[in-house]
Amino acid sequence: MGELTLELGAVLLLALGLKGLAKIRTARAANGLAALALLLAVVGLLLQQGLDGWPWMLLGLGVGGGLGALLAFKVAMTAMPETVALFNGCGGLSSLLVAIGAAQLPTPLNLLGQVSVLASVLVGSITFSGSLVAMGKLQEWLGTPGWTQKPQRHAINNTLAVATLVCCGLVLKGMAVALIPLTVLSLLLGVGLTLPVGGADMPVVISLLNSYSGVAAAAAGFVVGSELLIVAGAMVGAAGLILTQVMCTAMNRSLTSVLFGGAMGAAPAGGADGAKEEGYKNVTSCSAEECALTLEAAERVVFVPGYGLAVAQAQHSLKELAKLLEQQGIAVSYAIHPVAGRMPGHMNVLLAEADVPYDQLIEMDTINPEFPRTDVVIVLGANDVVNPRAKSDPSSPLYGMPVLEVDQARSVFVVKRSLGSGYAGIRNDLFELPQTSMVFGDAKQVLQTLLQELRALGVGKVPAGAGAGR
Amino acid sequence: MSGALSGTEALWVLVLGSLLGLELIGKVPPTLHTPLMSGANAISGITLLAALVLIAEAPTPALRLVGATALGFALFNVVGGFLVTDRMLAMFKRKGSN
């Protein structure tokens, strides 16, 4: 009975863990609970089946666990989305391998077992190859090739899908060899489905693939006859779907348009290049010094951080600047778009890394009405999430996406390397507005200059040494 | 394979587990989307249980190696996933706590 208690305990802890992960206060403890649940599950299983084959178990545990821990400690916070994609792909690969292995066992599988093997191979393969493509795209090792935007890709994917089903049929008819072409075709299908999706939509795809890996795990649970695995897989699969839906809502995209609509902005041929430098008119640019003078006179300042800020490793300089302005009595907050960074919530993580208190991070719906009362907005390495076209131009691929309405503020400074288009490859009308000034340069350098200039102006040295020594 | 599990029971478990998953996550503050995805992802590595069963039941070393490889990839997912999630969550602090 000891095993049963452990397994039930594991399910309970998993449920509590998933629930707790959705609240800031409990999230960290909940993560620990979920990890404990997995430990209980493993102990329960080993009590049940004994330690037969322990050297092999030790090998897998040591190598896999060791490498996982190593990567987890080494990876930079900016690379988090692609890291999650990599982990997810490995989970899918594991389900795939288990299913193939289980099909080779001498004990014949019943129909349900066979169908489960097929489901596990199919979903596991798609998860694996799809996650690797997603990782490649986020790392910018892979682009979005032009041919993937042609309508023929649907024909190719449909053919692949039909072919996988044919292979499934053959396996059920007793042709076990058909598992090999099934695996290859499913892997290709994963690539075929993920490659056409534009970089900006990649987080949604990762979230969906995360849900798939849960489904693959549940299928593996059917194969080996483990209720615990079925419950846990089903929970993660369902929770992943909800999270995917939440992300789609935040970007005002439907799941079908993300998956089958192709990359945003890539459709008009050559549009991405054509819209670059020469496309902008009446752009004003200014130096960091001028920006500092405006800042000094402001009462309310809002920063809009984007992925560019994180790439430049400028979070810490930004925090320093915010502190200086606060010492001067200037109200400072950070406007966080739901999909700032490369994944919803990614920017919060990046700013938390720089010790920015999370109650200064204001969500879009709360801060949008505040912009008309804001003196200065500084946009740092963000682009598509502040594009006014999303509200005004029905022909824009961004149309309808909720954006931060920074164009309502009195003055806007956009810190950017050049006038290049954003991650989604779409031009930004904000740059041409009369109240907008571009500050060209690397985010970190611009912030450092701003700090120097403000200090030279005497900002932050308010009465009775309140600031200086900190 | 634990023969105790009948097909219908397994399907019930699947349906109820899915419903539980749909209910558990309702409103999530955007701050937590990335950690939640990462944590859920670590949990999906629970497929390591299947790998352990495979190792125990495999009659040949080749098949055991397949099981061990599957176990390795699953554990990479689990250990890496939980640690990375913890690293992210450890950074959330309230104002004034530092």
Q: What string of pLDDT tens digits covers the 470 residues of chain A?
A: 578 889 899 999 999 999 898 888 889 999 999 999 999 999 999 998 888 888 999 999 999 999 999 999 999 888 888 899 999 999 999 999 999 999 988 888 888 889 999 999 999 999 999 999 999 988 888 877 777 777 788 889 999 999 999 999 999 998 888 999 999 999 999 999 998 887 777 888 888 999 999 999 999 999 988 889 999 999 999 998 988 888 787 666 788 877 777 665 444 333 333 333 346 777 888 888 888 888 888 899 999 998 778 777 888 889 989 988 888 889 999 998 877 777 777 888 888 888 888 788 888 888 999 999 999 999 988 888 888 888 887 777 777 778 899 988 988 999 888 776 655 667 788 888 888 888 888 888 899 999 998 888 888 775 544 444 44
Q: How many CB pairs under 8 A join A and B?
A: 405
pLDDT of residue A343: 72
Name the DSSP letter for residue A109: P
Known active-site residue A384? yes
Q: Specify the DSSP class assigned to residue A108.
A: P
Compute the distance between CA of residue B38 and CA of residue B86 in angstroms, rounded to an integer.
10
Q: Test A84 with B84 for CB contact under 8 angstroms.
A: yes
Q: Which residue of A has its CA nearest to B44?
A: A214
Confidence of residue B70 (pLDDT cuts 50, 70, 90): very high
Cβ separation B9–A227 shorter than 8 A: yes
Any idea what DSSP says for residue A269? T
d(CA A342, CA A306): 9
The pLDDT score that the predictor gives to residue A71 is: 94
Output Rg (C-alpha) for chain B, integer angstroms: 18
The residue from A355, A384, A393, A407 that is catalytic is: A384
What dihedral angle (degrees, nearest 10) is formed by the CA atoms of A426, A403, A379, A406? 120
- The total number of residues shown for chain A amounts to 470
Contacts of B79 in chain A (CB under 8 A): 64-65, 68-69, 72
Residue A317 C-alpha from the chain's centroid = 24
Nearest-neighbour CA in chain A from B31: distance (Å): 4
Task: Say how far apart CA A215 and CA B44 lie, in whole Å.
Answer: 9
Say whether residue A72 is in contact with chain B using an 8 A CB cutoff: yes
Residue A150 to chain B, least CA–CA distance (Å): 31
CA dihedral A19, A20, A21, A25 (to 10 degrees): 150
User: Is A12 an 8 Å CB contact of chain B?
Assistant: no
Reported as half-sphere exposure (CB side, CA atoms, 13 A), residue B94 has a value of: 3
pLDDT category at B98 given cuts 50, 70, 90 is: very low
* A220 at interface of B, judged by CB pairs closer than 8 A: yes
How much is the average pLDDT of B31-54?
A: 91
Model confidence pLDDT, tens digit, residues A151-167: 788 889 999 999 999 99
Q: Is residue B27 scored above 90 in pLDDT? A: no
Interface of A with B in 28-67 (CB under 8 A): 28, 30-32, 34-35, 37-38, 41-42, 45-46, 48-50, 52-53, 56-57, 59-61, 63-65, 67
Task: Give me the pLDDT at residue A142, please.
Answer: 82
Among candidates B37, B43, B80 on the partner chain, residue whose Cβ is nearest the Cβ of A243: B37
- What chain B residue is nearest to A109 in terms of C-alpha separation? B1
Question: Does residue A187 belong to the interface with chain B, where contact is any CB pair within 8 Å?
Answer: no
pTM over 0.80: no
Binding-face residues of A in 386-425 toward B, CB within 8 A: none
Tell me the pLDDT of chain B averaged across its residues.
85
Which of A149, A151, A157, A241 minimizes the C-alpha distance to A204? A241
CA-nearest residue to B17 within chain A is A231
Q: In this structure, what is the dihedral angle of CA atoms A62, A64, A69, A70, given to the nearest 10 degrees?
A: 100
Mutate to test the interface with A, among B9, B22, B28, B41 (most CBs of A within 10 A): B41
Task: In whole angstroms, give the CA distance from residue A220 to residue B70.
Answer: 12
CB contact under 8 A, B93 and A83: no
Which of B21, B36, B98 is nearest residue A238 as measured by Cβ atoms? B21
Q: Is A121 in the B-facing interface, judged by CB distances under 8 Å?
A: no
Mutate to test the interface with B, among A33, A74, A97 (most CBs of B within 10 A): A97
| The pLDDT of residue B32 | 81
Residue whose token pair is 């915010």: A322
Confirm if A168 and A121 have CB atoms less than 8 A apart. Answer: no
Interface test with B, best of A19, A36, A39, A56 (most B CBs within 10 A): A56
Among the listed residues A240, A319, A289, A272, the one whose alpha carbon sits nearest the alpha carbon of residue A143: A272
Q: Is A151 exposed, middle or buried (0-12, 13-18, 19+ CB in 10 A)?
A: exposed
Identify all chain A residues contacting B72, using CB atoms and an 8 Å cutoff.
59-61, 63-64
